[in-house]
């Protein structure tokens, strides 16, 4: 698969300290990232040093996709923003509208459904995002360069914008949202065409 070959080459070219940062990112140290972005939490000097290494690894490794990808994300609850207003109820989402992820941290996604469907990420009643990433989307394709390669993780930038294409609440266990990743205004689909796209 082209993306796997690209990733392997991409990571070999990264400095050793950045590669080490990714090993921490995909290990138990990842929990410190959430603590770092939680204003109520305070890190020790050692924890802060570890977090800075991880942030350096991610920020220094973003690269633009050369091919379109379908990425999957599992969430416990909806947490999107529109013009500064938080949207937590899926019934308040509108097909064709553009929102952005509210998490201050990076957006973790997967190439497959296995990890997102895990109750640890999306318990009963949780959200499954199917994100259509066009070429040019900035990502960090960790994939096999991870302590947990089975997660097939691909990271999106903080506050990534998405356009809602379809919402499916027919499954009582999970709610499914199909959305397109928006990198610039040219990526936005005319609202009249969104239903036609998802019904193909």
- Structural domain for 125, as ranges: 2-198
Cβ neighbour number for residue 190 with a 10 Å cutoff = 9
- Radius of gyration (Cα) for the chain, nearest Å? 17
132: pLDDT strictly greater than 70: yes
pLDDT at residue 178 above 90? yes
Number of domains making up the chain: 1
pTM: 0.79
Q: For residue 140, what are its two tokens?
A: 């960090």
Per-residue model confidence as pLDDT tens digits over 119-130: 877 888 899 999
Q: How far apart are the C-alpha atoms of 8 and 12, rounded to whole Å?
A: 6
Taking the CB of residue 14, how many other CB atoms lie within 10 A of it? 16
What pLDDT digit, counting tens, does each position of 55-83 carry? 887 787 788 888 899 999 988 888 899 98
Lowest mean pLDDT among 25-34, 61-70, 116-125, 129-138: 25-34
CA distances from 52 to 18, 34, 45, 91, 109 (A): 11, 13, 11, 38, 21
Average pLDDT, the chain: 80
Is pLDDT above 50 for 199? no
CATH assignment of the domain containing 154: 3.90.176.10
The partner residues of 133 in beta bridges, in order of sequence, read: 69
Q: In which element (H, E) is residue 71 found?
A: strand 69-75
């Amino acid at each position: 698969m082209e993306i796997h070959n690209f990733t392997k080459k991409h990571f070999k070219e990264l400095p050793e300290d950045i590669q080490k940062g990714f090993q921490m990112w995909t290990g138990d140290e990842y929990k410190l990232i959430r603590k770092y972005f939680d204003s109520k939490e305070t890190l020790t000097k050692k924890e802060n040093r570890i977090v800075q290494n991880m942030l350096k690894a991610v920020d220094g490794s973003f690269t633009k996709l050369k091919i379109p990808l379908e990425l999957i994300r599992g969430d416990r609850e909806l947490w999107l923003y529109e013009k500064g207003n938080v949207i937590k109820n899926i019934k308040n989402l509108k097909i064709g509208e553009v929102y952005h992820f509210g998490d201050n941290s990076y957006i973790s996604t997967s190439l497959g459904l296995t990890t997102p469907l895990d109750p640890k990420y999306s318990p009963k009643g949780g959200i499954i995002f199917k994100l259509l990433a066009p070429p040019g989307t900035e990502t960090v394709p960790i994939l096999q360069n991870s302590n947990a390669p089975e997660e097939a993780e691909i990271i999106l930038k903080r506050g990534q914008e998405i356009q809602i294409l379809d919402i499916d609440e027919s499954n009582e266990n999970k709610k499914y949202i199909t959305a397109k990743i928006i990198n610039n205004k040219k990526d936005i689909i005319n609202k009249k065409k969104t239903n036609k796209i998802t019904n193909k």
